[in-house]
Structure 1
């Protein structure tokens, strides 16, 4: 074909492309309309306590699959519409008091939760029990198993997949509240596992199997064989990545009903929410691309009420969410205070040295790799937590445990005063840190100070873990403080004998910290719970907290008000996100080295409210993408890439106006 002929055909091809694109958009809009109508139909049966006359009868649903196959009428344009339904409706059994098959008393909202689960079960709908942590999702789940066994006369089999740390609690709760359920835990080392796995072939001898995510993944081909009545995922957000092997394995385990338990259904972004819904209702939520187009996190965060309302409509029939302040009136609301801490002189020098150390990489040609950026970020996080976390900073050998552990770190100076104050008034403390090596330093400090403590991290064996928790919770226990790595102790433990939580350093994901706090602030807590969050001001530490708060705001908009916000699904591992975190601090530190440092706890507490209000006002309405900061190489008013001072911004400048965007030559 000649060049002139190609030019003549170009507009035709363009028109065809636009026509196809418009047709695709039209079908996508039709699918959204169908989804909204489908949600409305589900809501009718779930809300009104009725079920379709043929629900649960033979042939109503494929018992080998958890997928709902709604009848749809396809129109000529390729879109779908719901058929007109004239099915009769049948009233469901609903409870107004604790069922006879449950030993003990359920709270009113837990009975309402059981009634909601019955509605889902009878109408063949899978769902998310998204109650806030500490409201008894376990007892509500056990009660629906009891309903199936004692009322519906269905002996299972039922399967619960849960974090390892919660397996024993699940077994204890099942035996305590519903003795008629024959339950066992399937978890063992590889050499002992075949004997337990053999029990899966004999479901007539048991009703409930409780296993861990690790075993479910390793032995998923064995779990595929039984014809499960119910599969329950405790802490179901573990399958938020639809591309993970775990997600794929759990999709392969078929059942008549699926239920997901999570107090944090929205952790990072809306795409992860789709992954949860896709597991529960794969036919209804089949396309992640469509979901991402319909529901943009930026729209929610920037105040687009239409998008927020659409999400509420769609989530309503599939998710039940209650929060403690609304239903557990005997539990006092927790009081949280953010303590903004200055860098100690040694910390400040260490922080700068980390930047100076990377000048050659920073100034080099070409693009910096993710691995290098992540390494810089980790070193800065260590410097913000304690300079001794970086090799070569602490003097020695010999290494000594004395006052220098406190004097070399701003957070430790504040923690030293705070613990003394809490000890004097008889409080008991649980402290969380992301870093096991940080707990090593804190442990040395506690030994030096003579404070009694227990420690829990990922290396702790289950037997010792259980013993330490029992020691801490024992009546008249003399253990003052429990130090825990956030990821190891954020689930499955009850520490309501404490009344104070200290978050030494925050997680990228706000829900992880909330889970940790709820080890103390939960049902059974009779004291006022105080939470102190330590934040090293104008460092990556503060930036991580800011990003976590924006994510938590997305959770409030989408989940809590409906009873990623990592935009464009970049996730926290994306290099640009990490660069943004490292850049933070330049706008606030474009001045000479700070000399007016403050480590007095009373002054820090007095300033906490005003600083938190100012931070909230600055972040209000901001998305993660809009919250970019300044150059990675600017700190304390000095550009470490160019090795020269930076001009301070005007008082009216905004974050976007003052940021220094790195060019390709210096990224």
Structure 2
């Protein structure tokens, strides 16, 4: 029995000597690593904990791996080893007194101790032989201390290391390569916060370089006779002409020899040079910057690069979520040791996923800011082409575009203009640059509180209203509501997200209930439709009452008796502020425009009877501001209007006669496009599309009628998108426009004029075709305004397909009257007094009149035949 236990003792002792140092080294390694875990977060709360590891920690990680590599030992095995090493060792020493000579010479107490030890060993032997302990120990001893390969820090959370359970659940490992981009991005963010003025100065310098190049070209063509103009004719230039100096630029280039010319002394020479410098400086002061996409000069490329860097740098101030992300990860990134190769992320108050999201946000913002040199990668021309309106707004902000202050004020009286000028617009929450006239419009809305912004199509009414909301947010307001047609909900949500720091909520579609709850709870800009207003009634608690309402395409509520109008006006009456946006405030009736103003300012004394345009504008001025493209968009490319008067083919004539005989006005308007390839209009449309493709342009084709659009789409020899009609969902419309914008030159978007002409921005097209004259001129203007608007870089061609005889000619006559009516009452005009009711005619009356005239004409023609 003693021999058995003695053998077991040696076995257990060998195992303990083999495992002890390994386990001790591992425990020491774990303690060192755990002691280096540090918290991340604010002074009051720990969001995460982190552990930095480096290649020098390979020994610690390997020590942990060695312990993990030891054969697994059961709890009974550990207890058995302890008993066989410590307890059994003492018992084996004591029991020796019962053997050999020691038995004779041992004293009584030793013998008693030996007998107790023998009894314990007998008990132990009996207990052990009844278990699997010895086979387990023999298995452990057989391992023999096999060598474990060295393990690097990248394996610190691996199961083979065994540290992860002691760090807690949710630990994740991030490599240095994942952190370095975010670290560089954080540096870019911090630089941008401190270097905005530097970037702005770089733009001014680059802009002046572009202007100087243009000035030199202009002055190089300017005859030297201009010097007489700036000296009131007192300067003689004969000596210059005799010397072959013909232009003002040559005077500046050859100033060193001017004074030595025959008949020219120092005094006259200095006057010549001074006059030339005056001409040059005056030209420079008045020279706007124009960015020519067909002449991508090095100077202009430098300007665009500087502008992109400046825009990115200043946008960071309104990027509150990105700044919060930067603050969250700053302690980690700034304290990252140079030798660190990996970081263990440990959740505390916030998850590791949130930390990773913050790192991605910082890296993304850094990429926008441009990394170390402050200039984002890629072609700056591509960025300019994707958002030219933003670039022109920056140029206007720096004074590089002419901005007529008086024209930006519309027809407002002096006292309102002065009040608007006194207001300082807070753009903290606005990401977009504002043109001078846009800033004025936003301030006008803030000062007057309830207004109609009737700026012509394409002038940026959306960003003006966003500037109003951003200002109010900076002053403490939190909830805002935009009401618009369903077709432009997506566009509004995009604009809010891209041009402001406000959150947008889509109160439209199946997720509107959840969106409404989120908006009520968190605040921001809720975007809904006129048709949803009924659903919204009673759902907005007092704490979330909108501080400002925005009604886009406000002519949707021109009819005072319509339900959506009544719901809209109820909201307006409850709200302190409201902005009605419409580029077409007047269609047929002055009464409708009077209604819009009346919803906002029922206190204004607007006469209900006959009234002159000048008096009308004066009465509505406190609530109405309108500016026209030609007054404020000096950089807008020219628009070429082409009335394509076409003969009626024999096939067209058959369809037209049948429609007139039936008295079908709608069929009369479509007749000229029903004959397919035999239609003169269709043939001309095909020619226009082919020509546009050859000129690298895209085409918009508008018609009021779905049947016409289907016929056009089936006959055009190009990539056709659409038809975009009223039945197409808002999201699908935007997708269609996006796909068309990305399509190659020669592509065509066909759209119903009452659907595609509202709310969508389609600057990628520069050829517009209108298949038939519209009964309301504003519908046509809206459609053209989809392409000819701020941000358009190409000249815009507008082709109107008109039949030489028949219904088109009659409608054009009516259109001429309506255009004049609009100009008299809704635009700044010096037209003499006139009565609005003089040209008031309903569509039904117009149809009856034209059908009757055409019947008479055709019958007369048949009789003469």
TM range (shorter): 0.5 to 0.7
Does structure 1 conserve the Cα–Cα contact (< 8 Å) formed by 2:690 and 2:746?
no
**Separation in 1 of the partners of 2:706 and 2:618?**
43
Match of 1:233 in 2: 551
What CA deviation, in whole Å up to 9, does each residue of 1:641-661 have, x standing for no partner?
Answer: xxx449xxxxxxxxxxxxxxx
**Separation in 1 of the partners of 2:648 and 2:712?**
18
Does structure 2 conserve the Cα–Cα contact (< 8 Å) formed by 1:334 and 1:528?
yes
What CA deviation, in whole Å up to 9, does each residue of 1:130-173 have, x standing for no partner?
Answer: 111111111111111111121x3222x22110111222222222
Q: Secondary structure in 1 aligned to 2:609?
A: helix
Match of 2:261 in 1: none
Q: Secondary structure in 2 aligned to 1:501?
A: strand
The CA RMSD measured in Å over matched residues stands at 2.8
Q: Secondary structure in 2 aligned to 1:210?
A: strand
**Separation in 2 of the partners of 1:558 and 1:182?**
38
What CA deviation, in whole Å up to 9, does each residue of 1:265-303 have, x standing for no partner?
Answer: 111110111111121112436xxxx844133xxxxxxxx
Q: Secondary structure in 2 aligned to 1:635?
A: helix
Say yes or no: does 1:268 pair with 2:566: no
**Separation in 2 of the partners of 1:485 and 1:136?**
23
What CA deviation, in whole Å up to 9, does each residue of 1:421-477 have, x standing for no partner?
Answer: 33233222111111111111111112xx35554532223344443333222212x72
Say yes or no: does 1:280 pair with 2:280: no
Match of 1:582 in 2: 851
- Find the structure with the greater CA-based Rg: 2
**Where does 1:558-597 land on structure 2 (aligned, <5 Å)?**
558-561=825-828, 567=837, 571-574=841-844, 576-584=845-853
Q: Secondary structure in 2 aligned to 1:637?
A: helix
**Where does 1:300-319 land on structure 2 (aligned, <5 Å)?**
307-319=612-624
The equivalent position to 1:457 in structure 2, one of 705, 708, 725, is 725
**Separation in 2 of the partners of 1:94 and 1:197?**
32
Match of 1:149 in 2: 473
Match of 1:635 in 2: 858
**Separation in 2 of the partners of 1:565 and 1:572?**
17
The equivalent position to 2:497 in structure 1, one of 149, 152, 175, is 175
Does structure 2 conserve the Cα–Cα contact (< 8 Å) formed by 1:230 and 1:256?
yes
**Separation in 1 of the partners of 2:566 and 2:838?**
23
For residue 571 of structure 1, report the CA deviation from its aligned partner: 4.9
Does structure 2 conserve the Cα–Cα contact (< 8 Å) formed by 1:271 and 1:291?
no
**Separation in 1 of the partners of 2:595 and 2:613?**
18
Does structure 2 conserve the Cα–Cα contact (< 8 Å) formed by 1:506 and 1:545?
yes
Q: Secondary structure in 2 aligned to 1:99?
A: coil
TM-score between the two structures when normalised by the length of structure 1: 0.62
Instruction: For structure 2, list consecutive stretches of 5 or more residues without a partner in the other structure.
Output: 1-411
Does structure 2 conserve the Cα–Cα contact (< 8 Å) formed by 1:538 and 1:584?
no
Q: Secondary structure in 1 aligned to 2:636?
A: coil
Match of 2:383 in 1: none
Match of 2:577 in 1: 257
Q: Cα–Cα, structure 1 residues 568 and 560, in superposed 2: closer, same or farther, change >3 Å? A: closer
Match of 1:137 in 2: 461
**Separation in 1 of the partners of 2:835 and 2:732?**
38
Match of 1:511 in 2: 778
For residue 505 of structure 1, report the CA deviation from its aligned partner: 1.5
Does structure 2 conserve the Cα–Cα contact (< 8 Å) formed by 1:508 and 1:548?
yes
For residue 566 of structure 1, report the CA deviation from its aligned partner: 8.2
Q: Secondary structure in 2 aligned to 1:381?
A: helix
The equivalent position to 1:557 in structure 2, one of 815, 824, 842, is 824
Say yes or no: does 1:485 pair with 2:752: yes
Q: Cα–Cα, structure 1 residues 99 and 238, in superposed 2: closer, same or farther, change >3 Å? A: same
Instruction: For structure 1, list consecutive stretches of 5 or more residues without a partner in the other structure.
Output: 1-41, 51-90, 296-306, 359-372, 389-404, 586-631, 647-667
**Separation in 2 of the partners of 1:339 and 1:128?**
36
What CA deviation, in whole Å up to 9, does each residue of 1:499-521 have, x standing for no partner?
Answer: 11101112211111111111111
Say yes or no: does 1:468 pair with 2:790: no
The equivalent position to 1:47 in structure 2, one of 389, 405, 417, is 417
Q: Secondary structure in 1 aligned to 2:828?
A: helix
**Separation in 2 of the partners of 1:565 and 1:463?**
43
Does structure 2 conserve the Cα–Cα contact (< 8 Å) formed by 1:163 and 1:213?
yes
What CA deviation, in whole Å up to 9, does each residue of 1:375-434 have, x standing for no partner?
Answer: x21221222x3245xxxxxxxxxxxxxxxx211x22112223322333233222111111
**Where does 1:81-92 land on structure 2 (aligned, <5 Å)?**
92=422
**Separation in 1 of the partners of 2:584 and 2:786?**
14
For residue 343 of structure 1, report the CA deviation from its aligned partner: 1.0
Q: Cα–Cα, structure 1 residues 437 and 248, in superposed 2: closer, same or farther, change >3 Å? A: same
**Separation in 2 of the partners of 1:217 and 1:135?**
31
Q: Cα–Cα, structure 1 residues 140 and 355, in superposed 2: closer, same or farther, change >3 Å? A: closer
For residue 214 of structure 1, report the CA deviation from its aligned partner: 1.3
Does structure 2 conserve the Cα–Cα contact (< 8 Å) formed by 1:184 and 1:206?
no
For residue 345 of structure 1, report the CA deviation from its aligned partner: 0.7
Does structure 2 conserve the Cα–Cα contact (< 8 Å) formed by 1:162 and 1:234?
yes
For residue 114 of structure 1, report the CA deviation from its aligned partner: 2.1
TM-score between the two structures when normalised by the length of structure 2: 0.49
The equivalent position to 2:666 in structure 1, one of 355, 364, 378, is 378
Say yes or no: does 1:349 pair with 2:659: no
Does structure 1 conserve the Cα–Cα contact (< 8 Å) formed by 2:659 and 2:665?
no
**Where does 1:77-476 land on structure 2 (aligned, <5 Å)?**
92-95=422-425, 99-121=427-449, 126-150=450-474, 152-155=475-478, 157-179=479-501, 181-189=502-510, 192-198=511-517, 202=520, 204-222=521-539, 227-253=545-571, 254-284=574-604, 291-295=607-611, 307-356=612-661, 358=662, 376-383=664-671, 385-388=672-675, 405-407=676-678, 409-446=679-716, 449=717, 451-474=719-742
* Residue correspondences, number: 448
Match of 2:364 in 1: none
Q: Cα–Cα, structure 1 residues 223 and 195, in superposed 2: closer, same or farther, change >3 Å? A: same
**Where does 1:33-44 land on structure 2 (aligned, <5 Å)?**
43=413
Does structure 2 conserve the Cα–Cα contact (< 8 Å) formed by 1:551 and 1:565?
no
**Where does 1:491-502 land on structure 2 (aligned, <5 Å)?**
491-502=758-769
**Separation in 2 of the partners of 1:354 and 1:135?**
41
